[in-house]
């Protein structure tokens, strides 16, 4: 039997998803709780590894064995992880291998004054930002492009093309803007470098044409800064080619 977990977490105090010998991680906390509830060691497979400081609303993981009681897991987990569901999956299900897309959200607090409530939840951006420029950048991302410029130069990736199913900005409130993107897969830091570069366009420091040119496979040094991790959320995972995001019209 294969079981499937749906998990959310605040990544602020984690060294990322993957187990590390010297840092607190989401995987280690979940596997510890599962071992107690199920009475045996459990190895999790995750849909998308998140970096240190990155949050998740809809992370998916799988493991071999029967489902665990959600209430029992949450009673053992720290305050910054919550299991939303744990159910039997179809035979052979693999959270990572079977995923056909992943969706992320990056949140931006666009105002002069900082926010006590958004601290650690959104990037505070007190400078001028032109939303129409952000939206134009997002439209350029849709389809198949080469994202070499948007991932570190030292990388294990051998394929730099990604199929972007949806990409858009929307205003969540008077002060908060959100960048949503769904693709077949992502490279390390890809979304954070995209946001950092789009903010240069929105601030008049880079043209839209220069941004579009980066999608042809330019070197990393040609793109902008990497935006901080605390604004990024893994929003959900798509399976069987069912998209996560509803594209606004």
Task: Give the three-class secondary structure for 145.
Answer: strand
- The tokens of 156 are what? 């294990």
Residues paired with residue 56 on neighbouring β-strands, in sequence order: 9, 234
Cβ-contact 152, 220 below 8 angstroms:
yes
Phi, psi of 143 (to 5 degrees): 105, -160
Angle between helices 131-141 and 190-202 (to 10 degrees): 140
Q: In whole angstroms, what is the distance from residue 1 CA to residue 79 CA?
A: 29
Question: Is 146 tagged catalytic?
Answer: no
Out of 10, 22, 51, 87, pick the active-site residue.
51
First to last CA, the chain: 41
CA dihedral 198, 166, 240, 65 (to 10 degrees): 40
* Residue positions annotated with a catalytic role: 51
């Amino acid at each position: 039997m294969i079981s499937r977990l749906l998990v959310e977490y605040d990544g602020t105090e984690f060294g990322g998803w993957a187990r590390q010998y010297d840092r607190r991680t989401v995987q280690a906390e979940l596997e510890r709780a599962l071992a107690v509830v199920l009475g045996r060691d459990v190895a999790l497979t995750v849909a998308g590894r998140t970096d240190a400081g990155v949050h998740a609303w809809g992370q998916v993981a799988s493991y071999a064995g029967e489902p665990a009681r959600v209430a029992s897991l949450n009673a053992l987990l720290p305050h910054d992880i919550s299991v939303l569901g744990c159910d039997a999956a179809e035979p052979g299900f693999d959270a990572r291998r079977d995923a056909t897309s992943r969706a992320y959200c990056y949140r931006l607090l666009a105002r002069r004054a900082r926010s006590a409530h958004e601290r650690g939840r959104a990037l505070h951006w007190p400078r001028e930002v032109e939303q129409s420029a952000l939206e134009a950048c997002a439209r350029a991302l849709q389809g198949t492009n080469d994202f070499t410029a948007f991932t570190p130069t030292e990388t294990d990736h051998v394929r730099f093309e990604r199929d972007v199913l949806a990409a858009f900005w929307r205003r969540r409130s008077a002060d908060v803007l959100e960048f949503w993107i769904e693709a077949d897969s992502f490279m390390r830091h890809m979304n954070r470098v995209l946001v950092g570069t789009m903010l240069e366009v929105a601030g008049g420091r880079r043209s839209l044409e220069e941004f579009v040119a980066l999608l042809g496979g330019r070197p990393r040094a040609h793109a902008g800064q990497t935006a901080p991790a605390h604004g990024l959320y893994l929003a959900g995972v798509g399976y069987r080619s069912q998209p996560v995001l509803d594209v606004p019209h």
